[in-house]
A and B are shown apart, each in its own frame.
Chain A
């Protein structure tokens, strides 16, 4: 492994292509950390946005007019404003309203860090789309299917879990995937509030080592590989479970 890293040092000396994140252990740790921060941020947001989607879809079916209106307002707000503005709003406006706490070094620090705020704002952003998607997915399952399940002796929860949700999920998946891919791309915006994700650490590295072209190319290739892999895997899954005759 050392020989592999040393080769990049040689590459730099010979050709001037400076890939510091291979031969410099500090930069390597930063780069790997950034990569996993991006993935972790995406996973956290995926999880919470799904929960927001499910709860929101359930609330939208509520009998109370105001519950429905609030959910609708939430969707409209987060769908039609730029995610960058939302992130600024959460981090600078709401972040300043929360009380400050003492950190382990004795400094006064905001209660929630920038990663948490990025996760919150992106989850709400992606969640707004998920509410609509889950809602139409559940709407698509006919009442007669539910009745058929009931006539076979399923109770309400069982018919929901074993009949309605699996069908709804198969209908939802293409739209959910679009949302997921969009979410992974949107994590780059966390750069604006200094979350150490891939774009941010690359920026740090190229500021330190002045190797902008190498870092930019690496960044582009990493993102394209990450998103490309995701799109490819999701399309395969979609094709495998699609309901014949619906969508393409």
Chain B
């Protein structure tokens, strides 16, 4: 922009909104912005609903606190299971997505077009549909060289969740590579680096810090999406909570305490990640 004027065409809010839209597009969905206040609200809801349930229950029944303590080990196992699904889906999705993202800037048109198509395909499909697709279409076991490998439900769910992660990582990688000024490529070429060397030794190392915040945002989104696996019957924390509630005789007064308890766990896990992401975003802000 060459024009100089004291009067702005648009105020900074416009640039912020554009930046927000760009970030959301990179990870393919709204980015959660957790603050400490959200955790405090959850804790307040938990305490009050447990108190109300306890007051309703009367002396004859077990106290809400002891019911919750009794089931905590089981529910915690389910929660760990969610985290395991999120780790595996993130690892698989990142590995495949990084490859796909680099292919998206390939010099070979078929490779470029093919990886673009795959990326767009899995970015545009709803998560739940991909999850259903993997749950129903993957076999319950595969045979490789005579070795039978069973594929339990949760592995299929992990695979189903890693597909959208892959597509979004691919976009993050492509975006980061293209955000590196072209002068970097040209100066590397003048120093007699070939394309592969330029990419691995000059471009990608600079991309890492730009990719980290969106990658972490994607992880937070994925962690929250793991509860979708309950819709297809994987026994993760949401499914277990439903089972625990029916085991306790379907008491409606336990509904709010139990679910806010689970939400609080998710909060405690996601909050530090969200804070760190915000800090990294500020730290790595691209100066133009």
Point out residues on A near B: beta carbons under 8 Å: 76, 79-82, 84-85, 129, 133, 136-137, 139-142, 144, 167, 171-172, 174-175, 177-179, 182, 185-186, 188-189, 191-192, 199, 206, 212-213, 216, 219-220, 223-224, 227-228, 231, 243, 245-248
The 8 Å CB contact of A80, one of B20, B34, B130, is B34
Among residues of B, the one whose C-beta sits closest to the C-beta of A185 is B126
User: Which B residues are in CB contact (< 8 Å) with A172?
Assistant: 17
> Quick check: which of B60-68, B132-140, B207-215 contacts chain A, the rest being far away?
B132-140
- State whether A213 touches B137 (Cβ < 8 A): yes
A to B CB contacts below 8 Å, 15 in the list: A79-B32, A80-B33, A80-B34, A84-B231, A133-B17, A139-B11, A142-B10, A171-B10, A171-B14, A174-B21, A191-B231, A220-B125, A223-B125, A223-B126, A246-B10
- State whether B129 touches A140 (Cβ < 8 A): no
User: Which B residues are in CB contact (< 8 Å) with A142?
Assistant: 7-11
How far is the CB of B211 from the nearest CB of chain A, in Å?
Answer: 17
Say yes or no: A189-B30 contact (C-beta < 8 A), given A175-B17, A175-B20: no
- State whether B124 touches A171 (Cβ < 8 A): no
Say yes or no: A188-B17 contact (C-beta < 8 A), given A79-B33, A80-B38, A182-B30: no
Say yes or no: A191-B11 contact (C-beta < 8 A), given A76-B38, A80-B38: no
The A contact surface, by secondary structure, is helix
The 8 Å CB contact of A212, one of B15, B16, B121, B136, is B136
B81 at the interface (CB under 8 A from A): no
- 9 more A-B contacts (CB under 8 A) besides A84-B228, A141-B10, A216-B133? A80-B33, A174-B25, A182-B30, A191-B128, A219-B129, A220-B129, A228-B121, A247-B18, A247-B19
